[in-house]
Amino acid sequence: MSEPQAHRHESGLVTETRGHVRVLTLDRPERRNALSTALQADLVEELLCCAEDPQVRAIVLTGNGPAFCAGFDLKEIRELDQRGGHFRPPMDRPGRSLFEVVSETYIPIVAALTGHAVAGGFELALACDIRIAAPGIKLGLPEAAIGMGANYGSVVLPKRLPMGIALEMLLTGEYVTSEDAERWGLVNRVVPPEEVLPAALALAERIAANAPLSVRRMKETAVKALDLPLATALRLDVGPNPYLSDDRREGIAAHLEKRPPRWTGR
């Protein structure tokens, strides 16, 4: 098997394919992986490409350096202010919201949080499906302290945590640790720093080994059914239908014959 090939975009996004897993690395350590306009655009484009590629069955999102992501690039925003430019709120921009694209990418996304995830970086982690974190890292939304809005976090955090905890985090802007987040179920597990990325990759590979149509169907159903009444949710019928697929026949045959399945994604 050939060695994985990595590609680095000018924005600082590094993409790498490992079998059926696509690894996306934020590589602006000198800016704590801040989400510049260019980096956001490249992330959106890469996620849309992953969704179109039948060979990509899971995604790992991580950051290089001491921070996973410090959020939006405040220096870039300040320079825009100083030029007298027009700043648009997150949902009023020509392109799609990065966090919305992450949450609507129906390929499972595992966030490997090797460092702090704050502000928009925390929102980015929230948009992912599964979070593996190093011990003692800071997580939180300090937007109230700098006059921003945490648009995505204000909507999503109360869906992930009890309202009181979510509102305390939002309204005070204070950080919590990864251990707090694990206790609340916001982080799946906390592992030693050197094991975060390997653990995320192992989990992504385990997901990618399953029937790809089933995995996509389950994620899309779970996301779209979250706020629906049970009877409506059960009848959604969204995403690829695994019940009518060749992989369903292959999966049953492989199980009964006690052999690994050969998925075709059809």
Rounded (to 5) percent helix, strand, coil in the chain: 45, 15, 35
- CATH number belonging to the domain at 6-208, selected among 3.90.226.10, 2.40.340.10, 3.30.420.40, 3.30.300.30: 3.90.226.10
What are the pLDDT digits (tens) for 54-113?
A: 999 999 999 999 999 999 888 887 888 888 888 887 778 888 899 999 999 999 999 999
pLDDT for res 107: 97
Mean pLDDT, the chain, rounded, equals: 94
Question: Which one of 143, 168, 174, 195 is the catalytic residue?
Answer: 143
The tokens 């059809």 sit on which residue?
266
Q: Which amino acid, one-letter code, is at 77?
A: I
pLDDT surpasses 70 at 4? no
pLDDT for 81 equals 82
pLDDT tens, position by position, 46-56: 999 999 999 99
Phi and psi angles of residue 208, each rounded to the nearest 5 degrees, phi first: -65, -20
The domain locations on the chain are 6-208, 212-257
Q: Catalytic pick from 79, 123, 250, 257?
A: 123
Query: Which DSSP category does 35 fall into?
Result: B
Instruction: Give me the percent of the chain exceeding a pLDDT of 90.
Output: 87
Tally Cβ neighbours within 10 Å of residue 250: 16
Range scoring the smallest mean pLDDT among 30-39, 48-57, 78-87, 126-135: 78-87
Query: For residue 1, what pLDDT band results from cuts at 50, 70 and 90?
Result: very low
The question of whether 195 is a catalytic residue gets the answer no
Q: Tell me the mean pLDDT in the region 164-168.
A: 97
* Residue 234 identity (one-letter amino acid): L
250 labelled catalytic: no
Rounded CA Rg of the chain: 19
